[in-house]
Structure 1
């Protein structure tokens, strides 16, 4: 018995080891893990370790790791991207639809931070900040002088909600008298609906700049308000909308399509097919609908456009869309950084993929839109000989031919007018001269603009465009930009742009689009279409 007691621990150990071996072999091809198997480092990790232990100079491991990841991603599609931890919050704000800050728009003119707009009802408005105020200090940081940047100012002004920030400033009209204002930061909305208004008694206009978490709610609220005002027809402007959250565009498509119609489906090599269909009564299933697109219309915007076109629900007017038919999924990494990895392609209801080719590398892919300008496509539109993708028939009553393989071609093409952009006129935008002029002119002529209470009143009641033009000509000359030889067509275009930019200075994006739409040939064509 004593001998058994001596050998019992050894027997137990042998049985345990045999059991572990048998269990290990039964696992077949599953990769071994655990304390009994040393995990072999990858060559990438080995190189990182060698650099950290042996490299001649001090280096940032995070920077090298980020560069290594970005190098790997260059072998994938152009939309799989790595986001460093320091940038994740700012990148995600656009998708969240808000951020924590003080609620001002600012621009840096002559090394000085100028308040160009104050959000009504926001923290700065409550603290009585005014357009024209010039920031000297934010907290203890001096922000006047050389070296200030937009990024630095944004980081100083933003912070946790309910936190306080002290700003030392010079008040417009009170030079030489610095004052300090204390502002309690709050949640600042980033609207994805730029503007919604009745463009005439029956027709509403809504412009969406991206698809964030709040987009469908914003759109539904805007649409229902316009319906109360008599909306029977709708112009939805998606020009320049680079996409965002797929589900938000699906919800808006559901507002336009009836029954259980297919809106889009996604599928990837490792992602099963998922169909997204209409599932509720929409807010605008009947009534004339026009969608406006251009080469900046991408991703989730193309999902909406493709579904509407495939079901013959609307007329698409403008220029060919960007051509992004890939779906990204965010993955949070252990250090707080993020990877947005393409996991699937999306397909319109007819089954077409509108992803443009990227087999010639990222640079060629990113320059494709510029090639459209160079080749004249944005001036003259697509012809049937330019379609490289397969042909499909729409699913609605019209049974029209549509194409895959690189963006969505509009039903009615309106070209980009380059005749009004001479070298001198272009310099106004590149150097920021026109933005500085609008702000300075507004501050100097407040009494001229204060009587106008709405953009509509400004369109019909403001007739000093020639004074604006003369002011710009004089102002631009200081930046060695000569506008005296501008032709009559270009001059008229610039005068319209000046009026719209002044409206933006007064009413932000709502004012800009209400005024610019009055002179926009794409909007004019849309009004002709819905009137038929």
Structure 2
């Protein structure tokens, strides 16, 4: 019988498997328009397409054939070289641009209805009077109810060019209403949380490396310094990467002189070094970098450089192991290749790219194998197999060949969720309950001015747990026999989710960090 697993791990793995294929640009500004299929250059592949188009017995879609052929070629390369059709290219670029054009809401499908779960303050929907809890029934008179709702199609329908209008048919407390929203640019911050953990320790959580990450990071860093920060915990857990230049700029704020940050090299790409260019604003304070198995690419550049220079203590678990640099090549039909053109190396010469000779599936499943083999739980098994040893500038031994090994290992909690709790997370009952509890108990959060105050004084245990056990009975889940320690973990997450509704991701992390073993270990290390 397979081991029971932490409920969130498969979901996070799915995210990194998808997002990890869309990140790794060498530079945000490099968008060369290099054509692959030139109309004036005859080649065997183009000849085959022409022959099929003009002589084949049935009608065929040449565009589909061409796309399939390109994808087959990409499958013969590394896992991060991919082909993006025009629609997917637009979405991928949006993800790393730091903003998108839309109406400024977050939504989720709960049961068979689309519910508004957050409204961006000052955004188009906020101005139109839309509230958290509103149910979207129609978009421009097209129905959005039923069990087979396509979230991608909903997002496409809601988003659109800045200045354009969209009509929403809503239900609020069972009563119908209509709102017309004028779309605008919506910022998507990559710094999802920053605050003071105590009177000298700052915390910054960076979710990805977008066009605006360095600017956001600097604003957060300066604000924390103004509040008296002398040591920092920089959280890159779950950060699958993004623009390499943003990572380089951030590292430059921690290192002095003209120290080497990273260099890239490939068969067709000469060695290129990226060094510090200016005095950083946090070159001397104590620093901890948090990483895990989903920290990849640009995150590994940051962790690797600061570890090589003995500038920071790296805390957590071994990173993903993506040391490849992609460059975009635009094609004539609006699609693009993101082709791996080089490997990147840490300052002492480590390539942290893990092997990919077994194919994409084996490559992506490798993180799951770490879980199954116990590497995510026990320090002794959290090793790089046959990794090449290197010496940092301070003489410590580190390894290349499969991610960044942390200086201080903190494993996953070995007390796994029971089958019943796993079920309520996976079937959506947990999120549904917390969302509805928030809607009917918003007044409970009103007295609290900050997430930290909320975490210290709000006690959800009795009332929320009782209501939750009744809520999940409709899904034939009985929680009466749940152990006390497991009940507490669920209640802690309920509290954090409530904080998210009022204070966004910053509130969630401020509540969860007070109990997070990796954050607590980092605080301990900084105190030495």
TM-score (norm 2): 0.90
Specify the alignment match of 1:261 in structure 2: 259
Q: Determine the structure 1 residue equivalent to 2:454.
A: 458
The CA deviation at 1:420 is: 3.1
CA distance in 1, matches of 2:391, 2:415: 36
- For residue 49 of structure 1, what is the aligned residue in structure 2? 50
Alignment CA distance shift 1:233-1:147 (3 Å): same
Name which of 428, 431, 441 aligns with 2:427. 431
The correspondence of residues 80-91 of structure 1 with structure 2, limited to 5 A, is 80-91=81-92
Task: Report the equivalent of 2:120.
Answer: 119
Match of 1:513 in 2: 509
Contact 1:420–1:493 (CA under 8 A) maintained in structure 2: no
1:213 corresponds to = 211
Q: 1:358 to 1:343 in 2, by over 3 A?
A: same
Q: Indicate which of 392, 400, 407 corresponds to 1:404.
A: 400
Q: Which residue of 2 aligns with 1:288?
A: 286
Query: Do residues 528 (structure 1) and 524 (structure 2) align?
Result: yes
Describe the SS at the equivalent of 2:370: helix
Distance 2:53 2:489 in 1: 58
Which stretch shows the higher mean deviation, 413-422 or 339-348? 413-422
Give 5+ residue unaligned stretches, structure 2.
1-37
CA contact (8 A) 2:350 2:399 kept: yes
Distance change (3 Å), C-alpha of 1:336 and 1:475: same
Unaligned residue ranges in structure 1 (runs of 5+): 1-33
2:439 corresponds, among 437, 440, 443, to 443
Equivalent residue number for residue 231 of structure 2: 233
Give the Cα–Cα distance (whole angstroms) in 1 for the partners of residues 108 and 218 of structure 2: 32
Offset at residue 285 of structure 1 (A): 0.4
Between the aligned partners of 1:135 and 1:331, the Cα distance in structure 2 is: 39
Distance 1:85 1:393 in 2: 45
In the alignment, what sits opposite 2:353? 355
Q: CA deviation at 1:213?
A: 0.5
Whole-angstrom distance in 1 between the partners of 2:65 and 2:352? 35
Q: How far, CA to CA, are the matches of 1:266 and 1:235 in structure 2?
A: 28
Contact 1:387 1:403 (8 Å CA) reproduced: no
Deviation string 1:144-169 (CA, Å, 9 cap, x unpaired) is 23432211111111000011112121
Residue in 2 that maps onto 1:416: 412
Alignment partners' CA distance in 2, 1:102 and 1:198: 32
Superposition deviation, residue 452 in structure 1: 2.4
User: Is contact 1:438-1:505 (8 Å) kept?
Assistant: no
CA RMSD of aligned residues (A): 1.7
Counterpart among 180, 187, 190 of residue 189 in structure 1: 187
> What corresponds to 1:11 in structure 2?
none
Question: Does structure 1 retain, via aligned residues, the 8 Å contact 2:375–2:382?
Answer: no
Deviation at 1:482, TM superposition (A): 2.5
Q: Could you tell me how far 1:60 is from its partner in structure 2?
A: 2.7
* Count of residue pairs the alignment pairs up: 491
Alpha-carbon distance, 1:40 to partner: 4.3
Q: Scaled by the length of structure 1, what TM-score is found?
A: 0.89
Deviation at 1:312, TM superposition (A): 0.2
CA distance in structure 1 between the partners assigned to 2:485 and 2:387 by the alignment: 38
Q: Shift of the alpha carbon at 1:468?
A: 1.5
SS at match of 2:253: helix
Q: 1:385 to 1:206 in 2, by over 3 A?
A: closer
CA distance in 2 between counterparts of 1:228 and 1:41 reads 62
Q: Find the counterpart in structure 1 of residue 323 from structure 2.
A: 325
From the superposition, tell whether residues 310 and 365 of structure 1 become closer, same or farther in structure 2 (CA, over 3 Å): same
- 1:185, distance to aligned residue in structure 2 (A): 0.7
- Specify the SS of the correspondent of 2:145: coil
Residue 478 of structure 1 aligns to a residue whose secondary structure is helix
Is contact 2:460-2:495 (8 Å) kept?
no
Contact map agreement 2:384 2:402 (CA 8 A) in 1: no
Classify 1:350/1:234 alpha carbon distance in 2 versus 1 (closer, same or farther; 3 Å). same
Partners in 2 of 1:301 and 1:307 — Cα distance?
10
User: CA offsets per residue over residues 422-481 of structure 1, 9 Å max, x none?
Assistant: 222222222111111111111122222233232112101211222222222211221122
Question: 2:17 — aligned with what?
Answer: none
- Cα 1:510–1:50, aligned 2, differ >3 Å: closer, same or farther? same
2:138 maps to 137
What is aligned with 1:343? Answer: 341
1:381 CA displacement? 2.5
Tell me, what secondary structure is at the counterpart of 2:301? Answer: helix
Matches within 5 A, 1:273-312: 273-312=271-310
The residue number in structure 2 matching 1:370 is 368
- Distance in 1 between the 2:449 and 2:107 partners? 23
Tell me by how many angstroms 1:292 deviates: 0.3
Q: By how many angstroms is 1:132 displaced?
A: 0.9
- Give yes or no for contact 1:392–1:403 (8 Å, CA) kept in 2: yes
Q: Does 1:170 align with 2:171?
A: yes
Correspondence for 1:74: 75
CA distance in 1, matches of 2:308, 2:508: 32
Return the offset for 1:55: 4.2
Whether contact under 8 Å (2:375, 2:383) holds in the other structure is no
Which stretch of the first structure deviates more once superposed, 316-325 or 106-115? 106-115
